[in-house]
Amino acid sequence: MDIKRARELLERLKNLKILVVGDIILDRYLYGKVERISPEAPVPVVEVEREEVRLGGAGNVASNLVSLGVQTFLTGVVGEDPSGEKTLELLKEKSINSLVATDSRPTTEKTRVVSMSQQLLRIDREDRNKVSGQALKHIREAILEGEYDGIIISDYAKGVITHKVMEAVKDKEAFFSVDPRPINKTLYTGANLITPNEKELREMTDPLGKEEIEVLGKVLKKELDIDTLVVTRGSRGMTLFTDKVQSFPARAKEVYDVTGAGDTVVATLTAFYLGGAGWEEACELANICAGIVVGEFGTASVTPEEVLRELEEKGT
């Protein structure tokens, strides 16, 4: 793709309005140094030097969109707790339009302990009990009452993506894409785009892992009546299923951390396609964006300037 075409597509993103619906996670990072082993057990002692919080899950999808200039809306659930308050603060700081409901259920939070750029431990705090009816009503209203060019479903199987929520998405009759979880497979019927990774595709079609990806993609696409399927394959890039099958090599210089790469892929594929890119162009640009974020630690997002710089460096 030449620079002129990329600039044109990036400029078009500013006119889009996209709603992200899904499981919002607060990502917390504890950075420190390890200089000794605990006398209490054979584990490293981490002396925490700094702490950082970022938007994760559906929040990271929204962060990726707004970073590219998309007018971004987010709905989901946070708890009535300090982590929920912090999440709402981050949304405001990033200029993400919050349509988020609060609930008595605590905010989902992942804490990663890091030393020397190495993740030592992840601590998850979550409650998978059902989201309250009032919160789900709020989410459905956010979907049905707004005007959007497209909707992204960011499903982390934490309880937000339900049959009724998906009914509202389909009633909206807008373009919708899905970053899926196999457990909720049947909810995604009729999606315009679905972006499983290779492992998720196998779980949804061939748990024993005997068939080729090119076969399984066609099976899932037909079974769920999906318009377009993109399978992310790590170091092997991604495979696009439309009326034909095409593969795109990975663009990462160095894989540093894959956290949130799937969020980046569904966000960028959706945005560029809605902005007028063909699917081949969207995959090329999404590959570039994913290659940038896996070169950074933790959940990250990409700016238009980074995309253009990457294209210039590749001489395309």
Specify the pLDDT at position 294: 81
Specify the pLDDT at position 298: 63
CA nearest neighbour of 16 among 70, 54, 62: 70
Amino acid, single-letter form, for residue 13: L
27, 179, 257, 263: the active-site residue = 263
Specify the pLDDT at position 269: 98
Specify the pLDDT at position 83: 97
Specify the pLDDT at position 2: 87
- CB distance 240 to 280 below 8 Å: yes
Take residue 201 and report the two structure tokens written for it.
């595709």
- CB distance 21 to 151 below 8 Å: yes
- CB distance 235 to 255 below 8 Å: yes
Give the whole-angstrom CA distance, residue 308 versus residue 312: 6
Amino acid, single-letter form, for residue 81: D
- CB distance 57 to 154 below 8 Å: yes
| 263 given a catalytic annotation | yes
Specify the pLDDT at position 297: 67
Note the residue count of the chain.
316
- What is the third-level CATH fold of 3-23+57-106+126-314? UDP-N-acetylmuramoyl-L-alanine:D-glutamate ligase (3.40.1190)
Other residues' Cβ atoms within 10 Å of the Cβ of residue 196:
26
CA atoms within 13 A on the CB side of 244: 4
| 102, 127, 129, 131, 156 from 105: Cα distances, Å | 8, 7, 8, 7, 16
Specify the pLDDT at position 267: 97
Give the whole-angstrom CA distance, residue 20 versus residue 68: 15
CA atoms within 13 A on the CB side of 175: 17
- CB distance 152 to 193 below 8 Å: no
- What DSSP assignment string belongs to the chain? --HHHHHHHHHHGGG-EEEEEE-EEEEEEEEEEEEEE-SSSSSEEEEEEEEEEEEEEHHHHHHHHHHTT-EEEEE-EEESSHHHHHHHHHHHHTT-EE--EEESSPPEEEEEEEETTEEEEEEEE---SPPPHHHHHHHHHHHHHS--SEEEEE--SSS---HHHHHHHHHHTSEEEEE--GGGGGGGTT-SEE--BHHHHHHHH-TT--S-HHHHHHHHHHHTT-SEEEEE-GGG-EEEESSSEEEE----SS----TTHHHHHHHHHHHHHHTT--HHHHHHHHHHHHHHHTTSSSS----HHHHHHHHHHHT-
Give the whole-angstrom CA distance, residue 36 versus residue 259: 28
Specify the pLDDT at position 296: 74
Other residues' Cβ atoms within 10 Å of the Cβ of residue 49:
10
From first to last of the 316 residues of the chain, give the pLDDT tens digit.
Answer: 889 999 999 999 999 999 999 999 999 999 999 999 999 999 999 999 999 999 999 999 999 999 999 999 999 999 999 999 999 999 999 999 999 999 999 999 999 999 988 899 999 999 988 899 999 999 999 999 999 999 999 999 999 999 999 999 999 999 999 999 999 999 999 999 999 999 999 999 988 878 899 999 999 999 999 999 999 998 888 999 999 999 998 765 554 456 678 999 999 999 999 999 999 999 999 999 988 888 776 667 889 999 999 888 876 4
